[in-house]
Each structure stands twice: as C-alpha cells, then as structure tokens.
C-alpha cells in the first residue's frame, strides 16, 4: 500500500499523475478518494491533498521505493527540508506482511499507525486491512484524531486505463 500527498502546484493533478506513473510498477488495484488534511510537522505550509493506493507489484521493496522516488522527481519533488511542502510525496506504507528496520525503508512505515491521512483512505479501500505490528486499520482509527481529514468529493482519482 502506498500513500500519496501533495500541497504545491496542482496537488490533484500531481496525485493523478502519481497513480498513472505507479501503474508502471505493477497493477493499481484500488485508489481511495482524495482527502484534504492539515500538514503534520515542518514549517507553515498549505494543506495537503492525500490518497492511498493498493499496488500489485513484483518489484522488491527497495526497487519499489526507488520507483516511487523517480515518480516524485518526475513531479518536480525537491527534498529541501524535512516535512516541508512538496509537489508530490509517495510513501511505501506496507509491502505484504514484511517487517523491516532497514533505515532506507522501514516497513511498515514507522508513523502510519498514528496518521489519519493514511488510515482514513486506507480503511475506505481495504476495511479489513491490518498494519503489521499494530493491528487492524479500523481499530487504529479509533485511537487517532481524524478531525482534520476531510474527503474532497469534487476531486476523484481514476485507475489507470479507466476514464
């Protein structure tokens, strides 16, 4: 499962570009609605648009991360400051049930269990999902403040090849 976020330029277009580009790494099985959320950490910046997608891929985790970084770069992502604003952010949240403490790709994502902007859209497309080491997404949602996670009904992401 991958999480997408953007708050610079045209965030909705960046998210759709990411969905389309990530299809190059496998099959995009599902994509959530788009949610507007307040930034977490970092400097003052605009709200984010966020979504998640389920990707069926044969790429190993590190290659998937490299692919995700290439998609970010293609969208003009510059890594100037930690948790700063960005044209596109693609995070690998889980990869099957793999648990890894590799500093270049910690799995599951170390903060996913506390982030409403990941959990809310994930619950939408995979309500029975679980986060390895943390439990079911539905249960995690009971412990996280989601008051600033607002579904944006006039923005919808399309699966690649579907209009």
The residues that are catalytic are 77, 86, 89, 91
Give how far Cα 55 sits from Cα of 18, 64, 76, 127, 131, Å.
Answer: 12, 10, 22, 16, 16
Q: What does the alpha-carbon distance between residue 21 and residue 2 come to, in Å, rounded to a whole number? A: 13
Q: Look up residue 38 and give its two tokens.
A: 């307040």
Q: How far apart are CA 161 and CA 17, in angstroms?
A: 13
């Amino acid at each position: 499962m991958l999480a997408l976020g953007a708050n610079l330029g045209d965030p909705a277009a960046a998210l759709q570009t990411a969905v389309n580009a990530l299809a190059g790494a496998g099959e995009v099985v599902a994509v959530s609605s788009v949610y507007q959320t307040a930034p977490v950490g970092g400097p003052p910046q605009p709200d984010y648009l966020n979504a998640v997608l389920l990707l069926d891929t044969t790429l190993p985790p590190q290659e998937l991360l490299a692919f995700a970084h290439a998609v970010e770069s293609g969208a003009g992502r510059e890594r100037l400051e930690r948790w700063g604003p960005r044209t596109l952010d693609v995070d690998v949240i889980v990869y099957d049930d793999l648990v890894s403490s590799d500093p270049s790709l910690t799995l599951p994502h170390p903060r996913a269990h506390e982030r409403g902007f990941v959990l809310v859209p994930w619950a939408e497309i995979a309500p029975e999902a679980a986060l390895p080491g943390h439990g079911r997404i539905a249960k995690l949602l009971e412990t996280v403040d989601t008051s600033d996670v607002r579904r944006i009904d006039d923005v919808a992401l399309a699966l690649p090849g579907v209009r």
